[in-house]
Amino acid sequence: MKKNQLYKAIQKKWEKKNGDHNFLKNKNLKIKLHQPTFGVDEIAAFTEQMITTNVTMGKEVERFEDNYSNYLKTKYSVSSNSGSSANLLMIAALCNPYNKDKLNFGDEVIIPALTWSTTMFPLTQYGLKPVFVDCDLKTLNIDLNKIEDAIGPKTRAIFIVHIYGNPCDMTGIISICKKYNLLLIEDSCESMGAYFNKSPVGSFGLMSSFSFYFSHHITCMEGGITVTKDKSLFESMKMIRSHGWIRNIKNKAKWKKMSPNIDPKFLFVNEGYNLRLTEPQAVMASIQLKKLDMFVEKRRRAATYYKKKFKEFEGDFFYQDETKNSYHSWFGFPITIKNRKIKSKALCDYLNRNGIETRTVVSGNLAKQPVTKLYPNRVSGKLENVNYIMNNSFSIGCHQDITYDEIDYVYMKIKRFLKKTL
């Protein structure tokens, strides 16, 4: 089958399967939290790459990494099989015995209590101690005013998370890092396409991670990437990503000298994993990257429309405040209840019954999850804000495919619920 014929065949099947996404016309559909961003272009490119049989990590992965570095205006990018793996690579590189300023067993790393589990897990896997800090009630990001209280004699780093695409106050965080000589790491998995002071999120820290999971701003089904300007960390991550092997690094000479009697084709110098992205995923991701700015703009328009429609509910709810001097990329649309008569579970159950998907904001208070009892950690303060968010907040879809008609429908259902409840 020729390339053009393949494209047309895929297009025909796609239109048959996904032709009518109009919720108001098709009541079997749901207003989803997330809608995958890929379509015929990505499926065709993926299929074409499969046909070549060149599927394991190679030139297309390298090309995508270069494209991502150019987009983010950073020097080095290391792709991986997930955003979780991207976080793992960062911490593994920082704990690498070859790293002159490495993190050591028992060192503390400050993280927000409002985050996903994969911010914490790489820390505990390498014997580091997470220190949970409360969130700001309005921005949902780590509370800048509570970070210094959490710093102790063993604190070595701050691992920030830009919650739901809302950039943290990087001016304040960088100032704290400089004051206490702390490493800055960014979890940017929910915030692709966001900016702070006109600089892209993920360009501030020593390293930063991004996710290409199907629900994120762009996708290659599964996948992630870690960026850095540090050459040594870059080479460490490339080895760790692929079995601790030197095969994929450019500077092999120094490693060969260390072990001249071992075949350099099979020389393992580091602890490692198999975290590699595939070639079909890479070509898919390259197409997606070109569409990222468009996707983010659509999400921003949807969020603006939500806030306009929901203005009459401001006595009952409040919504995520955009950080000053930032450009929010809206991973979802979080809503926090301030009227005590409204119960979050009752409202979410009602919305779900009416075809509107809802979810907890990130994972709620991660410090309360059972897994934290298994590993050393420290809680700074009472975490009052994140506890409130956990009990009184939820999020709804704010993706690139949501329509104004669907948002009108959400508005109408919430209004009807409030009329019955209050």
Contact of 145 with 133, CB cutoff 8 Å: no
Catalytic choice (34, 162, 216, 217): 216
The helix (run of H) or strand (run of E) holding residue 139 is none
Establish how many alpha carbons lie within 13 A of residue 191's alpha carbon, considering only the half-sphere containing its beta carbon.
31
CA distance 327 to 323: 8
- What Å distances lie between residue 45 and 38, 54, 58, CA to CA? 11, 13, 16
3-class DSSP assignment, residue 362? strand
The DSSP bridge partners found for residue 114 are 365
Chain Cα centroid distance, residue 286: 18
Give the position of tokens 């014929």: 5
161 bridge partner residues: 187
Q: How many helices (H) and strands (E) does the chain have?
A: 13, 14
Give the whole-angstrom CA distance, residue 118 versus residue 187. Answer: 9
Please give the Cα distance from 111 to 131 (Å, whole number).
6
**Residue 296 pairs with which residues in a beta bridge?**
none
Please state, as a whole number, how many other Cβ atoms lie within 10 Å of the Cβ of residue 346.
11
- The amino acid occupying position 190 is E
34 is catalytic: no
> Which residues are registered as beta bridge partners of 109?
130, 157
Tell me the two tokens of residue 356.
């509107």
- The residues that are catalytic are 216
